[in-house]
Each structure stands twice: as structure tokens, then as C-alpha cells.
Amino acid sequence: MIPARRITAPFALTLALLSLGGCQQAAQDETKAATTGAPESKPGLSVAEGKFLLPAVSGNPGAAYFLIDNESNGTVSIASIAIAGIGKTEIHQTMGGSMKPIDRIDVEPKITLKFERGGLHVMAFEVNGSLKAGETTEMTITFADGDKLSAPLKIEAIGVAMDHGDGH
């Protein structure tokens, strides 16, 4: 008969080695995530020139404008956009002098799509009073497949955003 200690010692050693291997794998996964970007970043996409315009009158909506660059080989679909400090957002399109909400935006491969005045933009309702010109807030774009992309937005007062450098 084999003593119980002889059976349990190799078993305990095997469990310890398996646990150590799991810890090493988790550390490798964390290192890989840190070097390849945030776990929620969508490969091939980037956001630039992000700005949020505070409303001229408290209680009115603000607006967000930015560029989204799709360097991937496939079309991506924007399902929603959230902005920190904003209660509700809607993607809008201005066409023929009128504005209408849009549920989904497709961004074709190898293009840069502009969210700008007079075109696509994000309307921001229920603006938190803590958002101040000169600071930044974060925007998170959620795609139809569930992937996300976050980017900073510079917060500007509407008068600053409308100044074209010539006093107008």
C-alpha cells in the first residue's frame, strides 16, 4: 500500500505548477493589451480633431464634432456615441437646412468621415454644468458589432468655436 502523502505530494505540485502557468498567461495577456492599445479600441480606426461646443444658453443642447478615420479594409457601422458629462446624445444629419436624427452611420473603408457643422454631428442633451471651456471630456463610439473607440473632446465655448481668427 502507498502512503497517502506519496500520492498527494505530486498532485499538489501539479496544481501549483498549473496555477503558476495561469498567472504567467494572465500577465502576458495584460502586457499584450498594454502594447496593442486599449482592449476596447477598434483596430484600423482613429478619431482626431474632437471638440465639444458648450451650449450658448444653459439648458440647450451642445454639439460634438470630430473626424473618424477608417484605415481598415471593411465598413464599420456607428451605432451610438456617448460623451462623459452628457445625459443623452443623438447623431444628427443636416440636409437642405433641416436636421434629423440618424440611427446608424456606415463608415466605408479607407476614408475619413467628418462630423462637422452643417453635416453629420452629435447633439448633446442634458449637459452637465461641470463641463467647462478649456477642459476635455471623453467620447465613446459604440459600433454595431459591440466594439468601442474612445477619444478626448476639447470643450469650447460657442463664441470661441465660431471665431475664424478675423474677429467674426
Indicate the pTM of the whole model. 0.71
Tell me the one-letter amino acid at 121.
H
Tens-digit pLDDT profile for residues 156-165:
998 654 444 4
Question: What is the structure's pLDDT at 157?
Answer: 95
Domain topology for 45-162: Immunoglobulin-like (2.60.40)
Tens-digit pLDDT profile for residues 53-111:
999 998 999 999 999 999 999 999 999 999 999 999 999 999 888 999 999 999 999 99
Question: What is the structure's pLDDT at 74?
Answer: 94
Domain range summary for the chain, segments of one domain joined by +: 1-36, 45-162
SS (H, E, C) the chain: CCCHHHHHHHHHHHHHHHHHHHHHHHHHHHHHHHHHCCCCCCCCEEEEEEEEECCCCCCCCEEEEEEEEECCCCCEEEEEEEECCEEEEEEEEEECCEEEEECCEEECCCEEEEECCCCEEEEEEEECCCCCCCCEEEEEEEECCCCEEEEEEEEECHHHHHCCCCCC
